[in-house]
Amino acid sequence: MKMTNFLKNTNFFSIITKAILIIFPFYVFLSLSLQTLTWIKFIWFFLKEFLLILAFFALIREFIKNKKLPKIDLIDYLIIAFFLYGIIITFVNWLWLKSIFYWWRYDFIFLVAFLIYKHWSQFLVWKIEDYVKLFILSGTVSLFIWIFFKFRLKEEFLILFWYTDYVWNWVYSGWVPNYHWLEGSGMRRFQWILEWPNIMWFFLIVFSWFFVYLQKNKKEFYVFLFLLIMWILLFLTFSRSAILWAISAFWIIFLVNLKYFFQKYKKAFVSLMCVWMIIIACSAYIFSEQLKNIVMRESSTEWHFSRMIVWIKRFKEKPLWAWLAESWPAFRNIYPEAQTLEWEQHYIPESWFIQLLVEWWIIYLGLFLAILWIILSKLYKVSIVVFATFSAVLVMNLFLHIFEATYLSILLFILIWQIIYKD
């Protein structure tokens, strides 16, 4: 992709897409800085929503200009049903505009992005790979910048850009901490310019595996070297979810391609597996104390499971529906006065799927799972790498609510669309 052609052979929708792919890796940094520096705080706070609204109207314009009607299929109907059900249940529970807004902003917006870009496929003016390359380029620049600052200036420089000088695990004010401690140790967790180490690994997952997707015809050595660097950064987040994801993704790809690996490396297959196991064993021994601090975090473990148990009990108490749009971060915005330690168990379920189940009941969760199933089945046919990545992200959402990092969820679903509907 030649950057000189950035504005050539394009339309308004394509320009918006390019802006999203360039801006979103820097989204938190830009949002914090521009909210503080400019008087148009509302625009910058809702930048991603604003760009998607522009994309939607640009899409409508393309349909009108070309005198076409969108082709509706099963996943369209499921997403529309998902939306209508959420609206109906909100009104039934007498929860009006505010709940609908935050539900749309945190629970639904990435599906909106997927739907918009799914129907844009017929108006492509660039190759799909060029859009993916643009995201990879932006992500690479942002990573290099942050690695330089981290090891030269440390995280304190972020205070100059309106991050919070904060060194623990959570802040109720809503402002973004410049880093987090790993509880029980003096180690700083790698979070880049994002708001949370778990969000950092979410970005690294999306970034690294779409990078791999583009390297189909490249030498495997360079791909493995790149993944090694990414996995080191992933490890520095000290996230158990990241470790679980890395293991899950590796074994999904390995097992699916077992025949290929065996045939290509037949002579060295057993040796490679032995070397791999030795490396794992040696690393576990050398870094045993660090691994103990990462994995055996009693307070964090108790936090996760106690919140999940509380929310399951809430579902049993009121199994039809309740507490709509009242989980983190929607709860923070709807009830800012309730942001205290004693209240956190009521708005942090620590599981995306449990959150959907309790807030919206079984039908809503079922619709969401049906949408995911269709996406997974299509990904499996076109790219095992992206299929494994998306599967692992879904596994992580069993123990986290990572989809609520909506700027990254939007990126993920836009890129997934590009892989599924490239033909």
- Whether 58 and 17 have beta carbons less than 8 Å apart is answered as no
pLDDT at 232: 77
Report the C-alpha gap between 368 and 78 in whole angstroms: 8
Q: For 176-211, how does the pLDDT look when each residue is reduced to its tens digit (9 = 90+)?
A: 777 777 766 667 777 777 877 888 888 888 888 788
- Which burial class, exposed, middle or buried, applies to 378 when counting CB atoms under 10 A from its CB (0-12, 13-18, 19+)? middle
The residues facing 164 across adjacent strands are 177
Q: For 292-339, how does the pLDDT look when each residue is reduced to its tens digit (9 = 90+)?
A: 555 555 555 566 666 777 777 777 776 665 556 566 666 766 666 666
Tokens of residue 327, six digits:
């989980």
* Gyration radius from the chain CA atoms: 22
pLDDT at 7: 53
- Whether 106 and 49 have beta carbons less than 8 Å apart is answered as no
**Residues for the chain: how many in total?**
423
- Other Cβ atoms less than 10 A from the Cβ of 289: the count is 9
Report the C-alpha gap between 400 and 395 in whole angstroms: 9
Q: Which residues of the chain have pLDDT under 70?
A: 1-10, 38-45, 93-96, 124, 166-175, 183-186, 216-221, 244-250, 252-254, 256-273, 275-276, 279-280, 282-306, 318-330, 332-347, 422-423
Q: Of 106, 31, 109, 123, which Cα lies nearest the Cα of 414?
A: 109
DSSP conformation letters of 327-372: STTHHHHH-GGG-STTTGGGT--S-HHHHHHHHHHHHHHHHHHHHH
The one-letter code for the residue type at 141 is: V
- Whether 347 and 332 have beta carbons less than 8 Å apart is answered as yes
CA angle 409, 387, 134 (to 5 degrees): 55
Q: Tokens 């940094």 label which residue? A: 29
Q: Of 219, 187, 192, which Cα lies nearest the Cα of 203?
A: 192
What three-state secondary structure class fits 231? helix
Q: Write the CB contacts of 294 (distance below 8 Å, at least 6 apart in sequence).
A: 182, 238, 240, 243
Sign (positive/negative) of CA torsion 72, 77, 83, 89?
positive
Average pLDDT of the residues of the chain: 75
Compute the half-sphere exposure of residue 172: CA atoms within 13 Å on the CB side of its CA: 11
The one-letter code for the residue type at 251 is: W
Report the C-alpha gap between 100 and 273 in whole angstroms: 52
What three-state secondary structure class fits 239? coil
The one-letter code for the residue type at 397 is: N
What three-state secondary structure class fits 164? strand
Q: In which region does residue 11 sit, left (phi positive, over 0), alpha (psi from -120 to 50) or beta (all else)?
A: beta
Tokens of residue 247, six digits:
């293991």
